[in-house]
Structure 1
Amino acid sequence: MVPVSVIIITKNEAEIISRTIAMARLITDDIVVIDNGSNDDTVEIAATNNCRIFKADWHGYGANKNKGIAHARYKWILSIDADEIIDKDLIHSLFRLDYSKENVVYDIRFKTYFGSKLIRFGSWGRDHHIRLFNRETVKWTELPVHETLVLPRSTVKKTLPGHIHHYSVRDEYECREKAIYYASLSAKKYYNSGKKSNYIKLYLAPAFNFIRNYFLYLGFLDGVEGWHIAKNSAKNTWLKYHYLENLECTDTKRHYVKHRLLLNWTE
């Protein structure tokens, strides 16, 4: 075993979580599952596989990952989702790693799947994330979506050999639904941070997103799956700025109503 705690956040992942846990169990005796109200067999499967399970209200991906880190036995954290499975090459890398350098974080390459098909091109074919770090120096931002790690200036980033296999979506329907769901979360994040929608972001950004994924990154070589990914990625870009524009309009109307009420009261 290595001195690493594996943190998994879950909701209704019974279909795959046993495979995720089985590979994580090859490197550690500490697997922490933060569950957000699963109503399938996710929690039962995790308990059967000797995970430590904590139920938490949903406050965003970053916040729930930080809750898991707080429960970890070890300082080193491998953060994965329930639909992400570490492979044998990565396991070998983890056993050879020097864990004495707390200022180092490790970037891990992903192999991402559409159903059972490995996606080799487009943005999915280039995917990689920092997922191994020391909790004494690093933590997640507590954003509702697209959480990132807060890295000190002294941080050194290295890439680990091996991959995390991400079983992202089962079919085109789930791909589309995820695009819509994450667009809504992104719009709220942008709105809360003061970011504004405009013509370029609404219309040019989605077009460029599609061209980059499908043509520049050769997404068309992934066949119909590459088409669905590029199309729904562009849809996500348009929707998040469309939703942001709606939030801005609602806010403007609210301020107008308050202004008119104030004027009426003072007349």
Structure 2
Amino acid sequence: MTSITGIVITLNEEKRIGDCIDSLRSVCDEVIVVDSRSQDGTVAIAESKGATVLLQDYLGDGPQKAFGVPHASNDWILALDADERLDEDAIDAIRRLSLNDPSVAYSFRRRNFCGKHWIKAAGFYPDEVVRLYNRIHSGYLSKKAHSSVKSPKTEDTGAHIRHFTYDSLSHWIKRIDQLSTRDAWAMKEKGIPPSGLRPAMHALSAVIRKLVLKGGLLQGSDGLTVAMTTAFHAYMKYAKLNELYENEEAK
């Protein structure tokens, strides 16, 4: 089997990083953790699991995920988030791959969970993401929010990653607060101007997209939950963008 380096970025992930590293070890002979100076036991746990830990202040999603790549001993990179695990079919699929074409990157289908509940509605499944790629031809885009791997070619493995997205509905709302703040800063850095209409317009668009285009209207409470939380996220990130400009002007 071709050697693979696993890379994961962390910030205060002591409850999750151990299991994530164990999952990567099932197919990787090297694991690198890029830590944004955690204040909990993340670094100690990662080092106890044999991972190489690199300390780096958070650079944004894409740059942070790319930071560890030059330090890897292997060209093939398997990137997981701390709350992701390889399912057995993903482990089997990776072990069967010849990895003889460095221009191909491989995608997986995420099973997104809220607590123990697998949410399939309104686009939450199959949620296809590229996670295995060769650094010679592919890599994460420099986007500071919601980055993804750019590659010449992509193949779907049809295999799964478990994504323990939210511990509970309360955690879901807390994460929206955190992520919408990050998104607002990223949009401001890109020069996106404030707008009184944009928060409501994007929230309405999210509801239509999730309920109608993604079929959430016919998918029960899960469909409605996904639609409402997506709309809330959309509204808050643009409202927070406006707030950033207002605070700047007030100085």
Q: TM-score, normalised by structure 1?
A: 0.84
State yes or no: 1:77 paired with 2:77: yes
Aligned to 1:3: 3
Aligned to 1:182: 179
Cα drift, residue 144 of structure 1 = 2.7
Q: Deviations over 1:57-106 (max 9, x none)?
A: 11222222112112111101111111100111111111111222111111
Whether the 8 Å CA contact 1:84–1:165 is kept in 2: the answer is yes
Aligned to 1:31: 31
Whether the 8 Å CA contact 1:2–1:94 is kept in 2: the answer is no
Cα drift, residue 204 of structure 1 = 2.6
Secondary structure of the structure 2 residue equivalent to 1:94 = helix
Secondary structure of the structure 2 residue equivalent to 1:81 = coil
Counterpart Cα distance in 2 of 1:131 and 1:86: 11
Q: Deviations over 1:205-243 (max 9, x none)?
A: 212212332454344676555444322211111112222
- What amino acid sits opposite 2:185 in the alignment? K
Q: After the TM superposition, which residues 55-70 of structure 1 pair with which residues of structure 2 at under 5 Å, given as runs?
A: 55-70=55-70
Whether the 8 Å CA contact 1:183–1:239 is kept in 2: the answer is yes
Whether the 8 Å CA contact 2:107–2:155 is kept in 1: the answer is yes
- What amino acid sits opposite 1:60 in the alignment? G
Runs of 4 or more off by more than 6 Å in structure 1? none
State yes or no: 1:173 paired with 2:170: yes
- 1:217–1:159 distance in 2 versus 1, CA, 3 Å: same
Secondary structure of the structure 2 residue equivalent to 1:78 = strand
Counterpart Cα distance in 2 of 1:98 and 1:193: 40
- What amino acid sits opposite 2:143 in the alignment? L
State yes or no: 1:212 paired with 2:209: yes
State yes or no: 1:238 paired with 2:235: yes
Counterpart Cα distance in 1 of 2:54 and 2:191: 34
Counterpart Cα distance in 2 of 1:248 and 1:38: 29
Cα drift, residue 4 of structure 1 = 1.1
Aligned to 1:51: 51
- 1:95–1:40 distance in 2 versus 1, CA, 3 Å: same
Counterpart Cα distance in 2 of 1:225 and 1:17: 28
Q: Which segments of 5 or more consecutive residues in structure 1 lack a partner in the other structure?
A: 258-267
Counterpart Cα distance in 1 of 2:131 and 2:4: 12
Which structure is larger by alpha-carbon Rg, 1 or 2?
Answer: 1
Cα drift, residue 175 of structure 1 = 1.0
Secondary structure of the structure 1 residue equivalent to 2:68 = helix
Counterpart Cα distance in 2 of 1:237 and 1:144: 17
Q: Percent identity at matched positions?
A: 26
Q: Deviations over 1:147-191 (max 9, x none)?
A: 23344xxx1111113111100011122211211222222222222
Whether the 8 Å CA contact 1:114–1:225 is kept in 2: the answer is no
Whether the 8 Å CA contact 2:2–2:98 is kept in 1: the answer is no
Secondary structure of the structure 2 residue equivalent to 1:121 = coil
Counterpart Cα distance in 2 of 1:246 and 1:23: 41
Q: Which segments of 5 or more consecutive residues in structure 2 lack a partner in the other structure?
A: none
When structure 1 is superposed on structure 2, of 57-66 and 3-12 the one drifting more is 57-66
Task: Calculate the aligned-residue CA RMSD, in Å.
Answer: 2.3
Counterpart Cα distance in 1 of 2:13 and 2:138: 27
Counterpart Cα distance in 2 of 1:3 and 1:11: 27
Aligned residue pairs: how many? 251
State yes or no: 1:20 paired with 2:20: yes
